Chain A
Amino acid sequence: MINYKSTIKYIVDYDEPFASLVEYMDQHSVTRVPVVFFELQVKQLIDKITKGTDRQIIDAISKAYALRNLKQHNFVTHDESNESIALTKFIEMFVRNMSEKMRVKPITDKRFKAHASQLTNILNEANSYVSKTTNDKANFREYLQDFLSEVKQDFESNKRAITLRTDNLSKLLKSSEAHGDQRLIYTKIVELCERYVEPFFQFISHTQDKNGFIPTMVRLREFFAEQEMLDEEAEVGRFILNFSSYTKDIQHVYDRINDYRRKGQQDLIVFNGFEKAFNHLSEIVMGMQDGLLVRNDLHNNQDFIESYKRFDNIKADNEKHGNVSINYTDLIEHFKNIEKDLVFSSRRSSQNSPLTQEINLERLALDKESASLLRARNQKNKQLILKISKLIKLHFSSFTKLEEPMDIIGDIHKILSAHMDDYRPFFTLYAYTNIRKKLLAIEKQGRIRVCVGYDQRKTFAYNGISYKYRPILIQDLT
């Protein structure tokens, strides 16, 4: 243990452990910090200063930051149930004021409202002042002085805190070029304004109301005057006078931050709104991925259409065809004319419809013939494909027990040319491309290895023509 003064001295000179504690409290929005965390900060500080620092000083720092010592001097409170510590109000303010980064925190409206209600209670109690005993009178005066001092301190420190934070945030906003950073700063501005500045401003604005803070203070001053307590009367009088400057200063800060807040708030509202709108739209679109071929576009989706009210049936550009501006009545009439011309009046040309055309019977017969030829050719192709598939299945279903690498393209050629009367070299290519996937799958299973002979060329001959190809070699791994 070391004495109070020395402890304070070492805390001032080596404030890192307490500064880290306050930072932890702010980051996690808590008032208690695990003892382990605190001890770790002390250890880190000692490790950092070990080199080049006198052994005696290191010992003194260890003693100053010993939990027992801090508890003894009322710097921390220790909760043994969950092994956590909390800084006492005095040391927290002390550390915050020392550190540029984390200055004094603004005060929430709860505290000001509590002050106002406390003031009303004080005034009520003052009415029975005359009937109090000497001791009670002394206690009351002491309580009153503490109260005034606390209120003054709160108002002063809060004014400083919000002014400083507003300054810092506006400076940051001006210096940040990235829009992502700006949105983050705006979020902080909105939070500062809504949590601290606006409630304080509202409180200050209502202090002049009939039962507001200042008229109550005036009544308190009158009470002191009646009791001929001149010091107290003067103290309250000074407080009331100073108060007008608070109003002015806070009004200024409030106006400034409110401009940013409006801008930032609008941005955040739009940002959040569009996050939701986009996700909603995305869900609708994903829901449309059901494989249906009809009415599968957004413009037929009633969920989406009904989500928004404006621009129903908005006019389309008349110059573009094929959109909703189409005249269905005209279209039906037009089709009727075509139908008449083609079916019922095929031998005469229509005078009315620009789309009619005389039917050419010879052309129709030719078309019919070519259609039947096409059908026959398709039929033949189908049979050919079936035949190739059967041959491939029969000869290449298994690649086991290969004694030497198999040249798959050459082998396909041999099999197909031997078994098909109408063989063409193209069939080999077709068959290979069809079993390539199967080969890769078997290779993945580790049963074979497929090698491409990039630097090799092989040939097969058919009808006196040589066909050169790059061999694909299959080796059995089993």
Chain B
Amino acid sequence: MNIEQINIKKSIQIYDELTKGRIINRHIYSSSTHSLIDNPLFQELRENLDIYTNQYQMSGHELIDDGEYFYLIYKKLESSTNQLIKTKVYSAIIVLVRCVTHLQARLYESIKNVNYGIEIKEINEIELPEEYLLILEKAKLGTLDKAVEYLADRSFLIKTNRDKYVLSNAGLSIVDEIVERQNG
């Protein structure tokens, strides 16, 4: 383990992102090329995983490596029954993807491909049925546009330069998990 190989500038950025509860995804959006490119922070973490794992372990956290993304969890709350953020993230994704594929009758591709994406404006135009509103309320998400912003703030969604949102690596992995669970 050689601490000198750490890029301090990136390390500070990584710390800033992770401690704000954000995900570090393998890909980020490049507005200049309007495409997904490799995330330098992800590469930094991947190349020096042992050092970063130690760093966060020492502050009572655990750095989780899920292959396509990294995030922090609280080590001390191992048996917590209160999972506010987890339930917010999962219910926001369930409501959002269902809204896109069912209410808007759009293809899954439209929330996955940077060339399409979903807009806050069109989300606000949807008259949500009662059951959607109830889920958003019980998950403490408020409205659907707030839920989208919440997911984007935590890097589960990526915002493109056309003011549209698509799923990030972490968002896609949640969709895969949900689909696998339901169809498994």
Enumerate chain A interface residues (CB-CB to B < 8 A): 178-180, 182-183, 186, 263, 266-267, 269-278, 280-282, 285-286, 288-289, 296-302, 304-305, 307-319, 323-325
Contact = CB atoms under 8 A, between A and B. Distances in A.
Nearest to B78: A313
B181 interface: yes
Contacts of A312: 73, 83, 86
Contacts of B73: 311-315
B50 interface: no
Contacts of A288: 138
Given A269-B179, A273-B178, A308-B90, A299 B61 contact: no
B81 A311 contact: no
Contact of A314 (B72, B97, B108, B138): B72
B82 A299 contact: yes
Q: Which secondary structure characterizes the binding site on chain B?
A: helix
A314 B62 CA distance: 9
Nearest to B20: A317
Contacts of B88: 299
A344 to B, nearest CB: 32
Contacts of B90: 304, 308, 311
6 contacts: A182-B107, A305-B81, A308-B90, A310-B177, A311-B83, A311-B89
A296 B138 CA distance: 8
A277 B84 contact: no
Nearest to B79: A313
Interface in B69-99: 71-74, 77-78, 80-91, 94-95, 97-98
A279 to B, nearest CB: 9
Interface in B82-127: 82-91, 94-95, 97-98, 101-102, 104-110
Q: Which 3 A-B pairs have the closest CB atoms?
A: A273-B179, A180-B105, A179-B106
Contacts of A318: 19-21
B98 A278 contact: yes
Given A273-B178, A315-B18, A282 B135 contact: yes
A41 to B, nearest CB: 35
Nearest to A283: B131
A179 B178 CA distance: 22
A281 B179 contact: no
B152 interface: no
A289 B135 CA distance: 11
A323 B139 CA distance: 13
B91 A324 contact: no
Given A278-B98, A314-B72, A315-B18, A324 B85 contact: yes
B107 A316 contact: no
A308 B178 contact: yes
Contacts of B138: 285, 288, 296-298
Interface string B165-183: 0000000011101111111
B135 to A, nearest CB: 5
Interface residues of B, number: 53
Contact of A298 (B19, B80, B87): B87
A267 B107 contact: yes
A278 B108 contact: no
A474 to B, nearest CB: 38
Contacts of B178: 273-274, 277, 308
A298 B175 CA distance: 19
A312 B64 CA distance: 11
Given A179-B105, A270-B101, A305-B86, A324 B135 contact: no
B134 interface: yes
Contacts of A272: 182-183
A314 B86 contact: yes
Interface in B28-51: none
Given A278-B98, A309-B177, A314-B71, A271 B85 contact: no
Contacts of B97: 270, 274
A276 B135 CA distance: 15
Of the listed residues B19, B80, B86, the one surrounded by the most CB atoms of chain A closer than 10 A to its CB is B86
Nearest to B19: A318
Contacts of A314: 21, 71-73, 85-86, 89
A298 B139 contact: yes
B62 to A, nearest CB: 8
B164 interface: no
A307 B184 CA distance: 13
Nearest to B174: A310
Contacts of B78: 313
Contacts of A274: 94, 97-98, 101-102, 178-179, 182
Contact of B77 (A267, A270, A310, A313): A313
Contacts of A296: 138
Nearest to A182: B107
Given A179-B105, A182-B107, A323 B179 contact: no
A355 B105 CA distance: 55
A410 to B, nearest CB: 44
B117 to A, nearest CB: 13
Nearest to B84: A299
Contacts of A316: 21, 84-85
Nearest to B85: A314
Given A273-B183, A308-B90, 10 more contacts: A274-B182, A282-B131, A297-B140, A298-B138, A299-B87, A309-B177, A311-B83, A312-B83, A313-B80, A315-B72
B183 A179 contact: no
A302 B86 contact: no
A299 B182 contact: no
Chain B CB within 10 A, most for which of A273, A304, A316, A319: A273
A325 B78 CA distance: 13
Nearest to A324: B84
A315 B87 contact: no
B66 interface: yes
